[in-house]
Every structure is written in C-alpha cells, then in structure tokens.
Amino acid sequence: MKMAKVDLAAIAYVSERMPIIGVGTYQVQAQSVLHETIDEAFKLGYRFIDTAQIYRNEAVLGRILPGLLKKHSLKREDIFITSKVSPANQGKGKTSKSVVKSLQDLSTPYIDLVLIHWPGTSRLKSNHKDNAKFRAETYAELEQLMDQGKIRSIGVSNYEINHLEALLAECRILPAVNQCECHPHFRNSEVAEYCKQKGIHFQAYSSLGGPDYVEDLLKDSTISKIAKVHSTSSAVILLAWGLNQGYSVLPRTHTVNRIGENWKAREITLNEKEMTDIGSIKKIKKACWDPSVVV
C-alpha cells in the first residue's frame, strides 16, 4: 500500500497531552452521576474524559464541567476531552455541523480529540459501498476542523486494518488514535500491532468486557490468580494489562468508589510471565459490535 504524505500534528498533540487513563461515560447520562464521578476523578488526578455524540451526555458535561474545573482549581487546558462523530452524522456537511453542536453542548472553544465512531454510516447496510465514501468525507471534514483550531487532534474508532489502509492512502493528517474493543478475551492483537507500526496510538475500550460481559472476565481464573498475587482486584489487573502494553484505557463506572479502584491500575507492573499467561487465555469472546463486517 502506498501511504500518503501526512501531517503528524494530531499525533504530536495526543502524545504530549493525552493521559493514559480516562473516565469513560458510555451509558452515563444522569447529571448527578456524572457530576459525582467526575468530581471524584478530578480529586484523584484524572484529567481525561471520553464522550461521544451518540452517548447523549455532551450537554450534561457542558453544564457540570465549568463548576468542577473551578472547584478543583483547573483550567480547560488542564483536561483532555474526546468525542466521536456519530454514524448518523457522517458525510459531507453533516460532520462539521455535528462537531459545532458538540462544541456548543460541551461549552468549550475546542475539543482535544474527535474520532469517527464507526466505519459504517447509519441507514446503510454494512456491505454498502458508500460506507467508504462517507467515512472518507467525514475524515476530510475533521482535517478541516483541525485546521480551523476547533479540534486539536483527530482519529478513528472501531477501524479494522482494511479501513485504516484505505484512510492512510488518502488522508492529509495521520490519525492519532484508533479506539477499539480490547480485553484478554478479545485481544485485537493484529489491529493493535498494525497501529503500532503506523504510529497510531491504540486505545482500549471495554477493558472489563463491556456492560454484558463483565462477570466473565472478572471471574476468569487466570486474571483472578494474578489479582491475588498483586493484592488487588481483577478489574485493576484487566486495566493494567492494557496499560502495560502501552495502550490507554477508558473505564466507565456509575460508582464513585470504582473511580479510585480503576486509578490504581497505573501502579501495577505485570511481569513477563503474567503477561504471557494472560495472552494465552484460550477463551475468545467479543463483547461489543463487530466492525469487520463493514466494507
């Protein structure tokens, strides 16, 4: 594949500014819950919030962040915010309009990182050829928004290798991040390695297995055994497994005490045998949607 000459500005911004662990907000819409969890997160030292247009909580975040920043003596530039373009907002004209709305809802002059949430477009079948057309148009508009300073870096989410290859052949600004499902039961190693080779940061979501699969991972015998050795929880080991590979992680929770527990993952160093044991778990289970079916 011939790779286009690309601007590395987005990658530089992310490498300098993006923390390795953030607060995921998927399925968290209640203002009281968001306020309580982010308040605790800022108190502990978190400086990274992950949201998306499809999460329908950007406006709530926009209402609570000014007060929380003031409470914790922080400025806007002290925190890193990621949002994502909804599949319904892909395509020429739609993308820019949706990002401007995200800026308004978040009450911020800029967003640190904006991703294409999904390689497919709403109302198109997964095998429809226009999926490629719309995601190309969306990325081109993100490049323009970055030129305008409305967003500081850009990237993608749920992109498979074929999606990335097509993007790298035509993009002007190299994507800084590919955010994908990743946990010991779905290691996504080929995509992670491809991103590493191309200088794209691999970011893990659903590190604990996703809303409907958490218990399977937390009760995995290999994970539980390693957690006992480190006198910590299986959840912390799952997050540490990602961090120890150089991935950033985005655990989400509705519970304040889990915010502190997740933060401990930064302190865990897994040895070579532990990493090998986790990487040898035979059970394979994808907890979330499958982007490989999108052409």
User: Per the residue annotation, which of 46, 55, 205, 213 is the catalytic one?
Assistant: 55
Q: Report whether 185 contacts 207 (CB < 8 A).
A: no
Average pLDDT, the chain: 96
Q: What is the pLDDT of residues 234-260, one digit of tens each?
A: 999 999 999 999 999 999 988 899 999
Residue in the structure block whose two tokens are 């699969």: 213
Distances in Å between the alpha carbon of 98 and those of 84, 89, 90, 268?
A: 10, 6, 9, 39
Give CA–CA dist 110/106, Å, rounded: 9
Per-residue pLDDT tens over the stretch 108-149: 999 999 999 999 999 999 999 999 999 999 999 999 999 999
Q: At 1, is the pLDDT very low, low, confident or very high (cuts 50, 70, 90)?
A: very low
Look at residue 117 in the predicted model and tell me its pLDDT: 98
Supply the pLDDT for residue 6: 80
Q: 194 catalytic, yes or no?
A: no
- Classify residue 214 as exposed, middle or buried by CB count within 10 Å of its CB (0-12, 13-18, 19+): middle
Span 177-221, pLDDT tens digits: 999 999 999 999 999 999 999 999 999 999 998 777 778 899 999
Domains observed in the chain:
9-211+246-258 (3.20.20.100)
Other C-beta atoms closer than 10 Å to the C-beta of 35 total 17
Q: Note the pLDDT of residue 5.
A: 63
- pTM for this predicted structure: 0.96
* Tens digits of residue pLDDT in 18-61: 999 999 999 999 999 999 999 999 999 999 999 999 999 999 99
Q: Is residue 185 a known part of a binding site? A: no
pLDDT recorded at residue 2: 47
How far apart are the two ends of the chain, measured CA to CA in Å? 17
CA distances in angstroms from 25 to 56, 61, 72, 206, 256, listed in the order given = 10, 10, 20, 12, 13
Tokens 């709530």 locate to: 60
Closest CA to 201 of 242, 240, 169: 242
In 18-83, where does DSSP find H-type helix? 31-44, 58-71
Q: Name the E strands within the chain.
A: 23-24, 48-50, 80-85, 113-116, 154-157, 177-181, 201-205, 248-249
Please tell me the distance from the alpha carbon of residue 84 to that of residue 49, in angstroms, as a whole number: 12
Picking from 26, 37, 48, the residue whose alpha carbon sits closest to that of residue 256 is: 37
Q: Dump pLDDT digits (tens) for 88-116.
A: 999 999 999 999 999 999 999 999 999 99
Q: What is the pLDDT of residue 244?
A: 98
